[in-house]
Structure 1
Amino acid sequence: MPRLSKDTDPVSSSPFPPPGWPLLALELRAPWEFGAVLPAWPVLQRAPLGDGHSVIVFPGLTAGDATTLPLRRYLDSRNYNTVGWGQGLNLGPRDGVLDAAKRQLQAVADASGNTVSLVGWSLGGIYARELAKEMPDRVRCVITLGTPFAGHHRSTNAWRIYQFASGRDIERETENYNLPEAPPVPTTSIFSRSDGVVAWRGSLQAQSSHNPHTENIEVVASHFGMGLNPSAWWAVADRLAQPQTNKSGAAWKPFQRPALPGLQLVFPDPLR
């Protein structure tokens, strides 16, 4: 799969609008995406097997571990030890939330004796990225699903919900973090141009000479269905199955669209 050229930022410096009403209406297709798991299951079982390392999965805004349970059960079937974030509904980074996430990451890493992969859906991906920046020695890789880290906060249709749920001013919150900066570990952003909540350009990770082990994978999915979408599941399993990357990144390889019949149709070329 072609990758973005080094030091090229795919996101315009000026704010871009959130998805319009037609795309927002298409979010109603999310249950059908989950329904596609059953007929896709034989193909999903052909995704690479993992090495048994631990994976923490973070839910999206106002969601909890129940929403990530199907993905976690699939990853368990591919030989991973998956856990939810264990903090109930994700109502934003309220006091104590990120500290609890750090303690969980440390505990899971200590229990396994190995680094831990972090998977985050939407806002959960922000947590995964920021944790990896603060604790890179404990993180194997980061994978995000529809996470808006590269755009203005008003480039999503959820910023008002965030402010209501968290009780925090989102503009002031984002000033505390360098969200577009990639963690110093292999980082994959899975996005969809038909996302009805997050402007897809806000999920594009620029590759830079500081961290060349970043990539973007496009899938055909809704925002609410991305964590339940078979093609997204395949991409997550494929990325988690990579061997442990050393400090030079020698073991890391970018995602290759699968050669299995039909699968290239569900993984469009993100640079088309």
Structure 2
Amino acid sequence: MTDDTAPPPLSLWVRELPITVPIALSPLRRPQPVAGARGGAGQPVMVIPGILSSDSATALLRRTLDLTGYRAHASEMGFLTGIQPDTMARAIDRLAEIAGAERRKVALVGWSLGGLYARVLAQRHPELVELVMTLGTPFSGDRRANNAWRVYEALNDHTVDAPPVPDDPSVKPPVPTIALWSRRDGVIAPAAARGLPRERDSEVEVPFHHFALASTRPAIARVVMELGRALAG
């Protein structure tokens, strides 16, 4: 039996590498309608990218959300390398800006590292957040249950399990939370992205690689479908 609390095997990690191409091309790709998706009814959504990426990586996801009737917003947090106080401050300001402009609560969609920011934003400012959806985010258990922690520590002046902020992303925010996770994830251990029942409201297993979760059309379609279901209650 495979240990889903351990980092994914090297064979899965290697399969992630070709998916860097659709991520890089995301700003150039046109969205397609998602058959059967619930209309977004103007719900604002702030999309937060993962480590070693910026808003360009989530361009196709945001355009697809817009096409479905949501009002998708870039995070404007810059190129993300880890959890940093100044980046957290920018995220808080951006969330407040979007909520103020839209005059309603914002749904947060965070991919990998971006999901950690999303959960902390909702912990700190639940009055501004409608829902949190994480995509392959390691918010639960051992922070080294992934294949990126050495890269994280090489890029930052702190260890992966001791970021310079007081927040614990494993604590469930006081808003609805849904965690998307995959056994095909080559970066994050399934258990880390699924979380424990006390750490999230719901979890959905999806059949996609980590880098595909917000960059390939089938994965984006699934994200849009699950977001609509979660918002509908």
Give the TM-score band, short-chain normalised: 0.7 to 0.9
Does 2:44 correspond to 1:24?
A: no
Which residue in 1 is equivalent to 2:132? 142
Q: Counterparts of 2:86 and 2:128 in 1: how far apart (Å)?
A: 20
- The change in CA–CA distance for 1:174 and 1:216 in structure 2 (over 3 A counts) is farther
Q: Counterparts of 2:59 and 2:22 in 1: how far apart (Å)?
A: 15
Q: Counterparts of 2:230 and 2:214 in 1: how far apart (Å)?
A: 23
Does 2:197 correspond to 1:234?
A: no
Question: Which residue identity is paired with 1:229?
Answer: T
CA deviations on 1:152-173 (whole Å, 9 max, x unpaired) are 1111111111122232222222
Aligned partner of residue 197 in structure 2, secondary structure: coil
Aligned partner of residue 108 in structure 2, secondary structure: strand
Question: Which residue identity is paired with 1:68?
Answer: T
Give the alignment partner of residue 90 of structure 1, picking from 80, 85, 101. 80
Give the alignment partner of residue 211 of structure 2, picking from 191, 199, 224. 224
Aligned length: 226
Does 2:84 correspond to 1:101?
A: no
Answer yes or no: is the 8 Å Cα contact 1:52–1:80 preserved in 2: yes
Q: CA deviation at 1:31?
A: 6.0
TM-score (norm 2): 0.87
CA deviations on 1:53-109 (whole Å, 9 max, x unpaired) are 211110100100110001001001011111111122111122311111111111111
Moved more, 146-155 or 120-129: 146-155
What pairs with 1:192-231 in structure 2 (closer than 5 Å)? 192-208=182-198, 214-231=201-218
Aligned partner of residue 235 in structure 1, secondary structure: helix
Aligned partner of residue 171 in structure 1, secondary structure: coil
Q: CA deviation at 1:30?
A: 2.1
Aligned partner of residue 221 in structure 2, secondary structure: helix
Computing the radius of gyration from Cα coordinates, the structure with the larger value is 1
User: Considering only aligned residues, what root-mean-square deviation do their CA atoms show, in Å?
Assistant: 2.7
Question: Which residue identity is paired with 2:14?
Answer: A
Q: CA deviation at 1:33?
A: 7.6
Which residue in 2 is equivalent to 1:247? none
Give the alignment partner of residue 49 of structure 1, picking from 31, 36, 39. 39
Aligned partner of residue 190 in structure 1, secondary structure: strand
Aligned partner of residue 178 in structure 2, secondary structure: strand
- The change in CA–CA distance for 1:221 and 1:29 in structure 2 (over 3 A counts) is farther
Question: Which residue identity is paired with 1:18?
Answer: P
CA deviations on 1:246-270 (whole Å, 9 max, x unpaired) are xxxxx62xxxxxxxxxxxxxxxxxx
Question: Which residue identity is paired with 2:148?
Answer: A
Which residue in 1 is equivalent to 2:104? 114
Answer yes or no: is the 8 Å Cα contact 2:55–2:74 preserved in 1: yes
CA deviations on 1:8-45 (whole Å, 9 max, x unpaired) are xxxx9xx942111111111135268889xx9x946x24
Q: How high is the sequence identity, in percent, across the aligned residues?
A: 34
Unmatched runs of 5 consecutive residues or more in structure 2 = none
- The change in CA–CA distance for 1:243 and 1:123 in structure 2 (over 3 A counts) is closer
Q: Counterparts of 1:195 and 1:242 in 2: how far apart (Å)?
A: 23
Which residue in 2 is equivalent to 1:76? 66
Q: CA deviation at 1:115?
A: 0.2
Q: CA deviation at 1:190?
A: 0.8
